Amino acid sequence: METPTLPPQGATKRGGRWRRVRRFIALPLAALALSGCTVPSFGAHAGATTSSKSVYHLWQGFSIGAVIIGGFVVVLFCYAILRFRRKGDNIPRQSQYHLPAEVLYTVIPILVVFGLFAATLVVENKEVANPKTNVTVDVNAFQWGWKFTYPGTSTVVIGQTTQAPTMVIPVNTNVHINLTSTDVIHGFYVKEFNFSRYALPGVLNQFTIQAVKTGTFFGQCTQLCGLYHSLMFFDVKVVTMPQYTAWLASTSNPAAAAEAKATTNQQTDTGVPTKPATSHGDN
């Protein structure tokens, strides 16, 4: 019988080492692929308002910083594992009071935290700023719909349950929102705006948004508010200023506004969804 020829011992060691390296590289790549992380957005929306774009850029900065710091830590781990992988009970040479290293790994994390805090503070200040503007919309949430009133005009847009009312605002203009709730806690959320606010009974929440592009954007209630919460949708339509002015003129209807108010009061008193009158022009 012919004796099989065995590969050289060195070749076997090299083959085993190469397999370990391949596994070492494949595991993080597989984890990255399975995470579904999209670059450069890292899973966030670019935003359709000035403040949402700031939030988006902050998210990008946080994500890139996390990747850099995480990669650096992984490199240090890998270096320690490979450099001191010798088997046995031998303990690597120990050292104490290495002042430059201690200053480095203390000061750098502190600077990183201060940098992240400062960037967050700048973006948060933009979020809560309420600059003066001539465009105001009173937004009222109720079970289970929305009412948009434009102060100084007789324009009222209202809809509930199977209806999705549309709030019309001008592009590249600060729009001040007065947000209230008639009954329970609701949530005013527009996905493309990267924005959400509570609508609280007895509390006036105020904020300002400035859309930077035209279009129609989907909004919804984000707080479980009762039986028809899942149907509590609305739209935000962003148009040019001339289109906005023309829309306001075409929808100013005192009789329709009074009827919409009466319908809302009826809904609040009975707690039963009704089909209210709508004054929303050519939305």
DSSP string, the chain: -PPPPPPPHHHHHHHHHHHHHHHHHHHHHHHHHHHT--TTTTT----SBHHHHHHHHHHHHHHHHHHHHHHHHHHHHHHHHHHT---SSPPPPP----HHHHHHHHHHHHHHHHHHHHHHHHHHHHHH-----SEEEEEEEETTEEEEE-TTS--EEEEETT---EEEEETTS-EEEEEEESSS-EEEEEGGGTEEEEE-BT--EEEEE-B-S-EEEEEE--S--STTGGG-EEEEEEE-HHHHHHHHHHH--HHHHHHHHHHHHHHHHH-S-----------
Is 4 part of a structural domain of the chain? Answer: no
Mean pLDDT across the chain: 80
pLDDT value of residue 33: 66
Asked if pLDDT for residue 162 goes beyond 90, the answer is: no
1-10, 16-25, 66-75: range with highest mean pLDDT? 66-75
209 and 231, same structural domain?
Answer: yes
253 and 141, same structural domain?
Answer: yes
Domain extent for 70: 16-85+97-128
pLDDT value of residue 257: 52
Confidence of residue 60 (pLDDT cuts 50, 70, 90): confident
76 and 176, same structural domain?
Answer: no
Is 122 part of a structural domain of the chain? Answer: yes
Q: What's the number of CA atoms in the CB half-sphere (13 Å) around residue 60? A: 13
pLDDT value of residue 228: 87
Let me know: does 107 contact 121? Beta carbons within 8 Å.
Answer: no
Express each pLDDT in 11-54 by its tens digit: 555 666 677 767 767 777 676 666 656 666 666 777 888 888 88
120 and 211, same structural domain?
Answer: no
Sign of the torsion angle spanned by Cα atoms 177, 183, 185, 190: negative
Mean pLDDT for the stretch of residues 157-168: 84
pLDDT value of residue 278: 37
157 and 263, same structural domain?
Answer: yes
215 and 146, same structural domain?
Answer: yes
Q: Which residue has the tokens 């050289």?
A: 8
Is 225 part of a structural domain of the chain? Answer: yes
pLDDT value of residue 170: 94
160 and 188, same structural domain?
Answer: yes
252 and 171, same structural domain?
Answer: yes
Q: How many structural domains is the chain composed of? A: 2
59 and 155, same structural domain?
Answer: no
Is 35 part of a structural domain of the chain? Answer: yes
pLDDT value of residue 64: 87
Length of the chain: 283
Asked if pLDDT for residue 2 goes beyond 60, the answer is: no
Express each pLDDT in 112-131 by its tens digit: 999 999 999 998 888 888 88
Is 103 part of a structural domain of the chain? Answer: yes
Sign of the torsion angle spanned by Cα atoms 260, 235, 195, 172: negative
- CATH number, position 216: 2.60.40.420
Asked if pLDDT for residue 208 goes beyond 80, the answer is: yes
Which range among 34-43, 125-134, 194-203, 256-265 shows the weakest confidence by mean pLDDT? 256-265
158 and 66, same structural domain?
Answer: no
117 and 22, same structural domain?
Answer: yes
pLDDT value of residue 98: 80
